A and B are shown apart, each in its own frame.
Chain A
Amino acid sequence: MTGFDRLRLDGVTRRFAGADALTDLTLEIRRGEFIALLGPSGCGKSTALNCLAGLLPLSGGSIWRDDTRLDTLPPEKRGFGMVFQNYALFPHMSVQKNISFGLSMRGVPRAEARRRTTEAIRLVHLEEHARKLPGQLSGGQQQRVAIARAVVVEPSLVLMDEPLSNLDAKLRLEMRTEIRRLHQSLGLTTVYVTHDQEEALSLADRLVVLRDGRVQQIGTPEEVHTRPANRHVADFIGFRNLLPGRFSSAFFHTEGVRVKGTPVGTLEDGGPAVAAIRPEDVTLTGELDATVEVAEYQGREIAAEVRTDDGLVLHLRTDRRLAPGDKVRIGLPADRLLIFPS
């Protein structure tokens, strides 16, 4: 199974017992691209991945690799590699056997299989553990075996289903770098499912944000980060301050506050709207008087919850050492305050 130029998902839909888990996903993946499917649990991202892998039949739509239709093929005929959330290592096989399994299934000659297995083990730094059973390894080591097992067959596409979610915070960061490094050195086209926006932003070339089985936005990490397509994406991507209000004559109105912002989407003059701003974009210079209610120490920064004199609650981050009860004046920069239709 060799590479491809384009992998196309065309209106992919999957229903479970009448309910739509994934609706009309259309996406074109270029060779070498790293795509992250991002969304809260139940958004359909894992469904999409399983449909791609062939582990779930589609209820509608089709999947194409260049001019070959894929969605009618069983998983073993698609030539993809997959990393499972629980790793799914074969518990009765050594690390070495786990990794060489795909090669032997594909009929790779023994000598070549041995060479490639050894190389894959070296790539994920498991030389001393090659003969151990998965049960004797730590979580991070198991994860590396799972990745090596998926990439050793040089699949045309690697699918990863929340591969870091079972690791502790420190290991998660390490493995994230490892995955990015592997992607850069091997150039493998990857589809990565996660609910962690930071993971998605740092790993992917392009993000697909899903909610309730529908695509909300497709874009580069920067596009999604700075210009979320709607308030749901904004909410998910770290715009912790979501203020319901009204949009009229180019201003956003709420709780006695009248501010300028950047409208996104079609806003009705005088209609209901939601303003969104990240805590780190709220400034401590401005014209809104507020009192600090909660201050959380976070090392370099303080994360604070403040209440304006008009009763508006906002989250902000600052390197100033704020304490509860402090009086502050805050500002909401117009270019960072996004206004969405409600």
Chain B
Amino acid sequence: MASHSHSLNYVGCNFLRQRLVLSTLSGRPVKIRKIRAKDDNPGLRDFEANFIRLIDKITNGSRIEINQTGTTLYYQPGLLCGGSLEHDCSPSRSIGYYLESLLCLAPFMKQSLRIVLRGVTNDQVDPSVDVLKATALPLLKIFGIDGEELELKITRRGMPPKGGGEVVFVCPVKKAVKPVQFTDPGKIKRIRGVAYSVRVSPQIANRIVDSARSILNKFLPDIYIYTDHMKGTSSGKSPGFGLSLVAETTNGAFLSAELVSNPQGEGVAVLPEDLGTDCAKLLLEEIYRGGCVDSTNQSLVLLLMTLGQQDVSKVLLGTLSPYRIEFLRHLRSYFQVMFKIEMKPSDEERKGGEKVLMTCVGTGFSNLSKTIK
């Protein structure tokens, strides 16, 4: 077979998740060299190793080879098997780090995935589970990945550094993905959010809500921010608080922003009021960037467009981040899919920044893992 000849080669640890996820979906082996080769602490970090372990868990027959120093990784993907699983995520990255990749892979498993992830639910680096729940799941629904099973439940919250949170992610299996044309985001009709606080005063959440509303009320009356104060075992191991905001448009686009307090023992203490206003401003920034998909889920939407039927998919996005640009390059090398990129300047002055219209023809991907009877 020609399976060895078409492996891809990369250098460096960045975009590791993208590479492994795309490798799994496209079935092409990948070799990543020089992972932090010049670093004082070379090789894969614990969270990366943890991620690889997770990939190993959800696939069957994949081959993973890591050299002794951990600077070279060879991954030959197997088939996604899914099922009922549990995984303890590394506390150095939040569950969002793992969940983002799982969102890409979960619809293409053999059995529907039901996974319990344990670790840090909200941190300052990665998108939190709240945001993913509010934005990524509706996005999957647009692509025809829906059903009652599609669910992301936060059973316990865990803040950095110790974590202790727990999330249940359930996703149904689909044979193929629908092409989408989502070029008109519509107008924002409501803003929702969650202000959470664990192991701190429950009053903090209310203070966050008030300050956030003070900013957002200038634009829209329909704002509701839930306060979520968790106690006891469901509050994790470290104290902290934060806010995640989601703006929903008339056409079903979701834009999100979030902010989390500094972890215990790191940095200066953050005032809940400041956090609320800052987060609200971040949401406004996100709205300024605009598009039909918020900046955290751009790669998910691009991936699902690529994996669609051999039809034209179109999505209007906000500014492309460097991470997405790299993702687009990866999509081309794995799937030979090139996007048509058209800049849409904001013709009207009051609708935020410029947008990018992404168009592509799907690869006609079909879920090869799913069993038919």
Q: Do A and B come from one complex?
A: no
Q: Which residues of B contact A (CB under 8 A)?
A: none
A-to-B contact residues, CB < 8 Å: none
